[in-house]
Amino acid sequence: MDILNGKTVIVMGVANKNSIAWGCAQAIMASGGKVVLTYQNDRLRKSLLRFVDPDQPMVQCDVADEGNIDAAFTSIREQYGPVDGLVHAIAYADKESLENDVLQISKAGYNLAQDISAYSFLAVTRSAVRLFPELRSVLTLTYFGSTHVIPNYNIMGVAKAALEANVRYTAKELGPQHVRVNAISAGAIKTLAVTGVKNHGSLLKMSREATVDGESVTQEEIGNTAALLLSDMSSGVTGDIIYVDKGVHLM
């Protein structure tokens, strides 16, 4: 269905073709929407060019620099016009912080994980709302390690908990502007982010075995839900965490 026909969506955080963000981008395009990808640096741009169409709109954006966010979104507005939706699929913790117990994490490691994984959502949403009056839907990605203790997820679970709180508060604040804010809590699939978790093979196995049908959720299934949440068909949904994990969170 062309539920996103005529709409433009910024997708932030595609690292490679296995990224959930790339699944979202593909579903948006399959639903009739136009996608503008952002990338952090030249290294990631080269990675994107290995699998995206050469004509795919792309703009550099480093979310650690708020001035760079404004500059990137201004460039998008000038080059591609109005933007209707935004997908924030960005998270990061350094290797030492991710591997250590939460009590052993340094202040610098804690702040870095929060800055990139949670605060950046506020920064990009604030900039997008200001620069794109047509914006109607903002979406981010989370994981149920935010509310459950998942082996080796550690500081990222803490950061995702903050991210989910950000979703609820910004949904309330942006309601009068008719901007909806939601998060997808995606099941564990083999992405670059998941492979950064210690013993990630065990995590993937545990997640697969906990699904209601014994099969892992797919990149396409997560992307399809993103397309729905970005469309006018979900106009009554805001401030929610939508689980797309084939029932893992029920167990």
Distance CA 229, CA 108 (A): 35
Measure the CA–CA gap between 123 and 69, rounded to whole angstroms: 8
pLDDT digits (tens, 9 = 90+) for 58-73: 999 999 999 999 999 9
Q: Active-site residue among 39, 92, 119, 153?
A: 153
Residue 73 lies in a domain: yes
pLDDT tens string 121-149: 999 999 999 999 999 999 999 999 999 99
Report the alpha-carbon distance of residue 157 to residue 138 in Å, rounded.
Answer: 21
When divided into structural domains, the chain yields a total of 1
Q: Which of 92, 143, 169, 243 is catalytic?
A: 143
How much of the chain is in helix, strand and coil states, percent to nearest 5?
Answer: 50, 15, 35
Q: Is residue 251 part of a domain?
A: no
- Whether 1 maps to a domain, the answer reads no
Amino acid in the structure at residue 44: L
Is residue 185 a part of any domain in this protein?
yes
The pLDDT value given to residue 4? 98
User: Is position 3 within any domain?
Assistant: no
Q: Is residue 166 part of a domain?
A: yes
Which residue positions form the known binding site for NAD(+)?
Answer: 13, 19-20, 40, 62-63, 90, 160, 189-193
11 three-state secondary structure: strand
Confidence of residue 1 (pLDDT cuts 50, 70, 90): confident
- Mark the binding-site residues, compressed into ranges: 13, 19-20, 40, 62-63, 90, 93, 160, 189-193
In-domain check, residue 89: yes
Query: What's the whole-model pTM score?
Result: 0.93
Could you tell me the CATH number of the domain that includes residue 38?
Answer: 3.40.50.720
Give a yes or no: residue 250 inside a domain: no
Question: Is 153 among the catalytic positions?
Answer: yes
110 carries an active-site annotation: no
Binding-site residues from annotation for substrate? 93
Residue 52: give the domain boundaries: 8-243
